Structure 1
Amino acid sequence: MTTDPAPPPERQLAAIAAAYADRRVDVLAVARAIHADPELAFAEHRAHDRCADLLEDAGFTLERGLAELPTAFRATIGTGSLVAVLCVEYDALPGIGHGCGHNLIAGSSLGAALALADLVDELDVTLQVIGTPAEEHGGGKQLLIDRGVFDGVHLALMAHPTPHTDTYDVLGSGSQAVGRWRATYTGRGAHAAANPADGINANDAAVIAQVAAGLLRQRIKDGQRLALVPQQSGVTNIVPETAVVDLECRALTMPEFERLRTQLVACLEAGAVATGCTLEIGASEPIYEPLVQDEVLGTAWNEAMASLGRPLNGSLGISNASTDMGNVSQRVPGLHPFVGITGAEAALHTREFAADAASAEGYRLMDDAAIALARVVRSVAADPAQRAAMRSRAAELESAHRAGVAARG
């Protein structure tokens, strides 16, 4: 007696689970090594090599030092008509380590890629894994966008751990826009006792700016944030000639962000006007745009997580965090779900959450996220209507992106 083979969806889902199980030990080893060996933005050399080596050993074609960024890479397998990207993050936080769980982000994307590798021809997919440096500070993904790395991509996805213990509807979540700058005041030095009247105190300009920004906080809307961190130094017997302030602002939408930035710049200009200093403001990294969750990808993710025993529990809403995956989602249909480590209570960007990211529950989340990401790609690739919708949406975003670039000159 013979039995009929399993229909394609069931067979493919089983193949994804089996392939991940076969490579889980290797994925876990890389994720643990990244956590134990934290590297800062644009200096993630060992993390880059660990991820790239794992994929190369699995048959992916590697491009290292992608787009003139030494710690970026692209690993490719398959030559299908649907181009799907899994984003890998691996930079750590100064003094904290992996308090944002990037070891789990790396592991889940690597695991998803390995789980899909044997199915790319059957699914007519070109699968790319892009190692994206400097998510915490530096906007590595925007640099890769600017250098053409996401051109021709039809969907891009990754998963982010959080301290929340529930699984949330990804379609209700997003992130804030954020911009960061460095303001430099230049005055005139003088002896603080012999001839202070001849000086122009740059530090006074910085203080006035901070006071003005503090008063501005009363008028900003919910969901908006601003911060100023003075970097000036000197000695008490010299009127400071220069003062430096690092600053940022955040908002839920780009129009709100632009208005808040204008208001914040006015506070800085007030310091210069009041003291007679000159003022220079320069961007310290690319602007991070708000995160947009693609509906097709989000629905597939929700279904995958529910089937893995992580049922949805309402909407997380707009996160007060920011990510350069937002820039990708404005350019390519994107998915960036926030999903919780069971039992984790500490906030992101803390030493306590760094410990959670190395816990057994953290790595269990990595396992589920890897399988769910792989299932999302399979779901879209196997459905002709969803493939067409994804390609159409990618073309719309591509056209809008090119129009925006042309408008900016």
Structure 2
Amino acid sequence: MPTATALNNVEDVVLRRRGDLVELSHSIHAEPELAFAEHRSCAKTQALAAERGFEITTAPGGLDTAFLASFGSGPLVVGVCAEYDALPGIGHACGHNIIAASAVGAALALAEVADDLGLTVVLLGTPAEEAGGGKVLMLRAGVFDDIATAVMVHPGPVDIAAARSLALSEVNVSYRGRESHAAVAPFLGINAADAVTIAQVAIGLLRQHLEPGQMMHGIVTDGGQASNVIPAHAEMRYTMRATESSSLHTLEERMSGCFLAGALGTGCEYDVTEASPLYQELTPDGWLANTFRAEMERLGRTPVPKELEAALPLGSTDMGNVTKLMPGIHPLVGVEAGGASVHQPAFAAAAAGPSGDQAVIDGAIMLARTVVALAETPAQRDRVLAAHEQRVRA
């Protein structure tokens, strides 16, 4: 059983560093940066860890705005993931400033007990979660190879311990036709914008036949330059989601027929390219999630009941890919935003408000105490280490 000493120690560290953590959250929030361009946010997130004596590795996996900050030398290597990218136009409406600051707080707290608990604490700066799949790229590059378990928190409108997400794929669809004057010789043109229209009509008709949990949404990123010129090029970006990766693959196949329809109906050439790596669905570790749920309740939060968690999936996250490979969690920590949800301007404002600040502190405490519980529960510690050993051998 976990000792009260270690559990209390990590909580005390977070509370002592409250001012620093809230200041970090507000600073990242005040200067939002988009995927793969989070240079200031990356530097801010690693600064407190560097001051504490963490060993910093910059640009792991060749990603300029990623980092690793390591402390300790114990056999149980725990990754704490920090995100800090923002959204175009609405800044930190997903609250990644809270994620970064709570991750830093948890890492600083765990550093205080790392030697006693046989831990190596790794704070991972993971860029481009909103678009680009930073964690997927880091996984492919081997950055997570030494890590046995990975944890993080994400803000949201409610508290969910075993949060789920949707599998996601995103593509760019480009059509190529032929320009012509729209009034003088439209018959000489091949209209790429019409190809987009046909594809979108086909997608709209497909919606009636979607499997439960499947969805798609997209935008036109290029529809022509002048109304009196038949557009020779048009492009759209579509996101496809499903509750499970197998269902997502089925949806991708059906969507490919809709994209083809646009080309066939107009005579355009076309191609479909990956806009972002595939995001797998979250698979939270049951024991870690249950431990985190108990911590939520201890702090006076009211997590969604277990039986409802699967029915309330988040959007999508590249942390899903991490939880497919190792025990991990991505719980939701509630932020009061006047009824607003993530990706809304009101949520961006709340992410730097009192409730957002409390989410930083509570998130750091709950993560740190969950890791302490893991380290001090022999059966669970052995389970996680054995799973890592098996993954290394595979």
TM class by shorter-chain length?
over 0.9
Aligned runs of 1:183-332 on 2, under 5 Å? 183-231=173-221, 232-314=223-305, 315-317=308-310, 318-332=312-326
CA gap of 1:350–1:343, structure 2 versus 1, over 3 A, is closer
Aligned to 1:174: 164
- Shift in Å at residue 312 of structure 1? 3.4
Instruction: Return the TM-score normalized by structure 2.
Output: 0.95
2:276 counterpart SS class: coil
Contact 1:223-1:320 within 8 A present in 2 as well:
no
2:190 and 2:169 map into 1 onto residues whose CA distance is 29
**CA distances 1:298-335 after superposition (whole Å, capped 9, x unpaired):** 12111222222224341333414001110111122110
2:250 counterpart SS class: helix
Of the three residues 20, 24, 28, the one matched with 2:14 is 20
- Shift in Å at residue 195 of structure 1? 2.1
1:147 and 1:128 map into 2 onto residues whose CA distance is 16
- Shift in Å at residue 391 of structure 1? 1.9
1:253 and 1:398 map into 2 onto residues whose CA distance is 25
- Shift in Å at residue 184 of structure 1? 0.7
CA gap of 1:270–1:8, structure 2 versus 1, over 3 A, is closer
CA gap of 1:259–1:397, structure 2 versus 1, over 3 A, is farther
Aligned to 1:44: 38
Q: Which residue identity is paired with 2:121?
A: L
Of the three residues 58, 62, 68, the one matched with 1:64 is 58
Q: Indicate whether 1:94 and 2:88 are aligned.
A: yes
Moved segments of 4+, more than 6 Å = none
Greater mean alpha carbon deviation, residues 26-35 or residues 8-17: 8-17
- Shift in Å at residue 344 of structure 1? 4.2
Aligned runs of 1:142-153 on 2, under 5 Å? 142-153=136-147
2:112 counterpart SS class: helix
Aligned to 2:383: 389
1:366 counterpart SS class: helix
In structure 2, runs of 5+ residues without a counterpart are none
Contact 2:337-2:346 within 8 A present in 1 as well:
no
Instruction: Return the TM-score normalized by structure 1.
Output: 0.92
- Shift in Å at residue 398 of structure 1? 5.6
- Shift in Å at residue 236 of structure 1? 2.1
Q: Indicate whether 1:115 and 2:109 are aligned.
A: yes
- Shift in Å at residue 221 of structure 1? 2.3
Q: Percent identity?
A: 41
Greater mean alpha carbon deviation, residues 123-132 or residues 63-72: 63-72
1:123 and 1:344 map into 2 onto residues whose CA distance is 41
**CA distances 1:274-293 after superposition (whole Å, capped 9, x unpaired):** 11111111001101110010
- Shift in Å at residue 393 of structure 1? 3.0
2:157 and 2:391 map into 1 onto residues whose CA distance is 32
Contact 1:332-1:398 within 8 A present in 2 as well:
no
In structure 1, runs of 5+ residues without a counterpart are 1-6, 403-409
Corresponding pairs, count: 390
- Shift in Å at residue 350 of structure 1? 0.8
